């Protein structure tokens, strides 16, 4: 790339003269520097828009902890509901067996046989 730049400089020097070529080269160098700075700023802007910052990660971590707490609360609530439902089912089974025993003499005899030692 350096050879190409030197060839271009030599060609311009032959056509424009030494002073004009120096001025052109300085102007071109400034333009290239400005373009490079613009590209750098654009890249930085794009990166700050696309990448997560430490603050973004902290916010997400806090949200995850909040969700974890909420999940734990729902899990505890469900466990309590299941235990209450199990107790309710046991009572219903006992009541059902009692009702069958009260209205079915054969069932009462069977239960009586199981209860005798």
Domain borders along the chain are 1-51, 54-117
The answer to whether residues 49 and 41 touch, using CB atoms and an 8 Å cutoff, is no
- Predicted TM-score (pTM) of the model is 0.46
- What interhelical angle do 105-115 and 54-103 show, nearest 10? 110
What's residue 62's pLDDT? 96
Per residue in 51-92, pLDDT tens?
888 898 999 999 999 999 999 999 999 999 999 999 999 999
48: three-class secondary structure by DSSP: helix
- How many whole angstroms separate alpha carbon 4 and alpha carbon 21? 15
What's residue 22's pLDDT? 83
- How many whole angstroms separate alpha carbon 90 and alpha carbon 95? 9
Could you tell me the maximum CA-CA distance found in the chain, to the nearest angstrom?
126
The answer to whether residues 28 and 20 touch, using CB atoms and an 8 Å cutoff, is no
Which of the four pLDDT bands, split at 50, 70 and 90, describes residue 1?
Answer: low
The answer to whether residues 9 and 25 touch, using CB atoms and an 8 Å cutoff, is yes
Which one-letter DSSP state was computed for residue 53? P
Q: In the predicted model, is pLDDT for residue 2 greater than 70?
A: no
């Amino acid at each position: 790339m350096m050879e190409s730049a030197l060839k271009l400089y030599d060609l311009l020097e032959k056509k424009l003269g030494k002073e004009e070529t120096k001025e052109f080269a300085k102007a071109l160098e400034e333009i290239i520097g400005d373009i490079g700075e613009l590209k750098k700023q654009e890249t930085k802007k794009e990166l700050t828009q696309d990448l997560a910052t430490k603050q973004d990660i902290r916010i997400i971590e806090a949200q995850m902890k909040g969700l974890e707490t909420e999940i734990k609360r729902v899990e505890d609530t469900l466990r309590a509901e299941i235990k209450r439902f199990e107790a309710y089912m046991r009572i219903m089974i006992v009541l059902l067996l009692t009702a069958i025993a009260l209205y079915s003499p054969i069932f009462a005899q069977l239960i009586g046989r199981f209860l005798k030692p």
